[in-house]
Structure formats: structure tokens, C-alpha cells
């Protein structure tokens, strides 16, 4: 497995589930760390490593999504001789191009992954990487329907499946008793940047009939501005800025919310690709209200409410409707949990990748898969 995403130990659960399936022999290649510009250096965490081989391989140009690569990759491909080499990277990245060439050299069928849900043209050499990878790939996986449409528009004609990059562990993210506020609690989890829309929640809170409190979980450049905005709107005493929360505490944090709001707004160079916190909240039985940016409506399905992005009044109405109707809130929470169990667990996501691998005629000794950091 070639995967910088898997420095995050939670994501490794998908590999354990995949390794349990028939005829799977799995090798995962990961860097010792990944330098993420938003959060700093993310060190490799070994958390779910049963049933497959996890190899640490140094990376060149760590932290650069488009040009990073693994100079020692050929040695592992030559030793393992995979039937499938799954690179969970965009087709215009150097690492995908390098892996695809090695796959062709050693007889592996190459699969790449894309989250890109905005149509963009890239300059050389990235456009060259893209065209070559389209030709060499045996199949592609898109993380969303919009990403699949972009891939087709850009000229990829091979087999294509829409599968999330990772799922959620329903044993970790589950309903649990926690100490709650006497007032209904609205939660926000995400980066404090304009596109994530935390300011929209503050405007909605000031317009609601229902008296509620809000917890804003996350960090970012907008925090000071958001605190000033809450003061100017007269809701500062009802808003708690918690900063970043450790991943291990996220299930407990989500269970403190009566509803989670995901108010993302589309920008020229960004649109919500998935919204992982949505499935984490739904797994906890917490209903979700999300904007109609990008993939959010498809992830929520019939298990929550969707409002037009950038419409604070519509968000306020949705919050009032849900917080004033406990039975409806409970029903959406139940639906959300069920939707995750059916579509978004790590086990179910692993099964869908397995189905793709089998469709490529890959019955045999070994498979290889890989993951990408972000989402």
C-alpha cells in the first residue's frame, strides 16, 4: 500500500478490513510523516496494523502534494509483485505517474484516486502526468459524483467507480452518554476559514427563535474575526470556541451536540469534496444540517437537512425546525446511524474496493492499495 493518508492511524482500519477478505495479501507503503500545511507535521501512528504488511518508506518533497514521490518504491514493487497497485493520489501528481510506470514495468494493474471536483487545467509537466496516467490506469476511483464527472470531462475513459476514500469506525463513533448543556447545543467542526462558513452559523444563531448555544471546534486564521462577529451579533455569551480537539476525543465531542451544522460555501478554487465530519456525526446519531456545497447533500441523503449555501436565514429556519421537534431530531439521528452502517463504515468501503479489484480480474496472490491525506 502506497499511502501518505495512512500516517493517520484511524484510516488504517480500512486496510485491516480489506485484509480480512478472501485472497487478499496486502502491502502498505507509508511515509514516516507527512507535512500538512494547515496543521504541521503529522507523524505516522501505528494503530490498526493486523493482517497486512506496513512498510515505512522515506518520501522526497514531503508536504508538496503535486511533486512528492518515493524513490524506494521500485524495490517494494519488485519484491511484492502486486497484481494491483492502487495509488490513492490525483492523476496529475508525480507520485501517481511514477507508480503507474512501475506498475506497467512489473505487470501490475494500476488504480488511482481523485477528489478533484472542480474542472481545472494544469500546466506541464502535470498535464503530461495526467494524460499518461489516464492511459496506463486499469481503473479509477472518484470520491464523489462531481469528481467522477470532472474526470470524464477531462478525458478519462476507463472503468470508474465512486467510492469514499475512507469510511468511519462505528464502534468508535457511536451514540454515548455525555454531560450536556441545559440549552440545545449546535456544533461546528472544521477549519476556521471563510469557505467552511462558521460565520454563517453565528449569523443564524442571532436570528433563531430557539435559544441555543453553539460550540465551534477547530482552529484557523478566522478565529479572532469570528469572536468579534459573535460579539457584534450579541451572541458571544452563547458561543464557545474550543480550538482543535484531539481525534481520540472527537466521538465524545460530537455526542455533546444536538445537531451538527456544516455550512460550507463554494469558492472559485474550492468546493466541499465530502465532509468526513458528517459521517462521523451521523454514526454518533447526531442529525446534520448542511449546505448544498459540493458533495454534502449526497453524503447526508435523507438523514438530515440541506439549506442553500450562504443563506443564514434558511439555516436559522432549519435549526429552529429541528430543535423545536425532538422526535424529528431523534428520527434523523437514527436514520443517520443506519445510513453510515449501510454505506460508510470502514468495512463497507473496503468491500467496495474489493469488488472493484475483483472486477479487474485480479484473483491471485496479492493486491496493493494506497491512500491520500485531506478531505
Residues 194 and 226 in one domain: yes
Mean pLDDT on 181-210: 96
Lowest mean pLDDT, pick from 15-19, 193-197, 215-219, 366-370: 366-370
| CB-CB contact of 262 with 306 (8 Å) | no
Residues 154 and 50 in one domain: yes
244-248 long-range Cβ contacts below 8 angstroms, 24+ apart: 244/217, 244/218, 244/219, 245/189, 245/217, 247/8, 247/10
Residue 72 sits in a domain whose CATH number is 3.40.50.2000
Question: Using one digit for the tens of pLDDT, what is the confidence trace for 103-120?
Answer: 999 999 999 999 999 999
Q: Is the pLDDT of residue 345 over 80?
A: yes
Residues 152 and 219 in one domain: no
Residues 256 and 131 in one domain: no
Q: Which structural domain range is residue 162 located in?
A: 5-167+346-368
Q: What is the pLDDT of residue 365?
A: 39
- Return the C-alpha cell found at 230: 459573535
**Residues linked to residue 185 through DSSP beta bridges, in sequence order:** 213
Using CA atoms, how far residue 63 sits from 42, 117, 234, 280, 372, in Å, is 10, 21, 41, 26, 12
The proportion of the chain whose per-residue pLDDT surpasses 90, expressed as a percent, equals 90
Residues 292 and 336 in one domain: yes
In a domain? residue 172: no
Q: Is the pLDDT of residue 35 over 80?
A: yes
Q: Is the pLDDT of residue 173 over 50?
A: yes
The proportion of the chain whose per-residue pLDDT surpasses 70, expressed as a percent, equals 96
Distance CA 360, CA 278 (A): 31
Confidence category of residue 372, pLDDT binned at 50, 70, 90:
very low
DSSP state of 270: B
Confidence category of residue 320, pLDDT binned at 50, 70, 90:
very high
Q: What is the pLDDT of residue 39?
A: 73
Q: What is the pLDDT of residue 363?
A: 37
In a domain? residue 317: yes
**Residues linked to residue 197 through DSSP beta bridges, in sequence order:** none
Residues 224 and 88 in one domain: no
Q: Is the pLDDT of residue 91 over 60?
A: yes
Residues 199 and 313 in one domain: yes
Q: Is the pLDDT of residue 371 over 60?
A: no
Q: Would you give the distance in Å from CA 129 to the centre of its chain?
A: 24
Residues 106 and 10 in one domain: yes
Question: Which run of H or E residues covers position 213?
Answer: strand 213-217
Residues 294 and 333 in one domain: yes
In a domain? residue 207: yes
Residues 226 and 313 in one domain: yes
In a domain? residue 325: yes
In a domain? residue 373: no
Q: Is the pLDDT of residue 176 over 60?
A: yes
| Mean pLDDT, rounded, of the chain | 93
Q: What is the pLDDT of residue 180?
A: 85
In a domain? residue 339: yes
Q: What is the pLDDT of residue 179?
A: 87
Residues 100 and 125 in one domain: yes
Angle at 11 between CA 193 and CA 66, to 5 degrees: 60
Q: What is the pLDDT of residue 364?
A: 38
Q: Is the pLDDT of residue 82 over 60?
A: yes
As for how many domains the chain has, the answer is 2
Positive or negative: CA dihedral 317, 320, 324, 329 = positive
Amino acid at each position: 500500500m502506497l499511502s501518505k493518508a495512512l500516517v493517520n492511524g484511524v484510516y488504517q482500519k480500512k486496510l485491516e478490513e480489506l485484509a480480512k477478505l478472501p485472497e487478499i495479501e496486502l502491502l502498505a507503503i507509508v511515509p514516516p510523516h507527512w507535512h500538512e500545511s494547515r496543521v504541521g507535521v503529522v507523524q505516522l501512528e501505528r494503530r490498526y496494523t493486523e493482517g497486512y504488511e506496513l512498510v515505512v518508506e522515506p518520501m522526497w518533497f514531503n508536504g508538496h502534494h503535486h511533486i512528492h514521490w518515493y524513490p524506494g518504491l521500485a524495490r517494494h514493487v519488485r519484491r511484492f509483485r502486486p497484481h494491483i497497485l492502487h495509488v490513492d493520489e490525483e492523476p496529475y501528481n508525480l507520485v501517481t505517474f511514477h507508480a503507474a510506470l512501475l506498475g506497467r514495468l512489473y505487470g501490475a494493474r494500476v488504480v488511482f484516486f481523485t477528489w478533484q471536483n472542480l474542472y481545472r487545467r494544469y500546466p506541464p509537466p502535470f498535464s503530461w502526468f495526467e494524460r499518461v496516467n489516464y492511459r496506463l490506469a486499469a481503473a479509477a476511483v472518484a470520491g464523489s459524483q462531481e469528481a467522477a464527472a470532472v474526470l470524464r470531462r477531462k478525458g478519462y475513459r476507463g472503468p470508474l467507480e465512486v467510492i469514499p476514500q475512507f469510511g468511519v469506525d462505528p464502534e468508535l463513533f457511536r451514540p454515548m452518554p455525555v454531560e450536556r448543556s441545559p440549552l440545545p447545543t449546535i456544533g461546528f467542526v472544521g477549519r476556521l476559514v471563510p469557505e467552511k462558513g462558521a460565520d454563517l452559523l453565528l449569523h443564524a444563531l442571532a436570528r433563531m427563535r430557539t435559544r441555543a448555544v453553539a460550540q465551534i471546534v477547530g482552529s484557523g486564521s478566522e478565529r479572532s474575526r469570528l469572536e468579534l462577529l459573535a460579539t457584534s451579533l450579541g451572541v458571544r455569551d452563547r458561543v464557545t470556541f474550543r480550538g482543535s480537539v484531539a481525534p481520540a476525543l472527537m466521538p465524545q465531542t460530537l455526542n455533546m451536540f444536538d445537531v451538527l451544522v456544516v455550512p460550507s460555501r463554494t469558492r472559485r478554487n474550492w468546493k466541499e469534496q465530502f465532509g468526513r465530519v458528517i459521517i462521523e456525526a451521523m454514526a454518533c446519531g447526531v442529525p446534520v444540517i448542511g449546505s448544498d456545497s459540493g458533495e454534502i447533500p449526497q453524503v447526508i441523503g435523507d438523514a438530515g437537512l440541506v439549506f442553500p449555501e450562504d443563506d443564514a436565514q434558511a439555516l436559522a429556519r432549519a435549526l429552529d425546525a429541528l430543535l423545536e421537534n425532538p422526535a424529528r431530531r431523534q428520527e434523523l439521528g437514527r436514520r443517520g446511524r443506519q445510513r453510515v452502517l449501510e454505506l460508510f463504515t470502514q468495512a463497507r468501503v473496503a468491500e467496495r474496493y474489493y469488488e472493484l479489484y475483483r472486477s479487474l480480474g485480479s484473483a491471485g496472490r496479492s493486491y496493493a492499495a494506497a491512500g491520500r491525506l485531506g478531505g
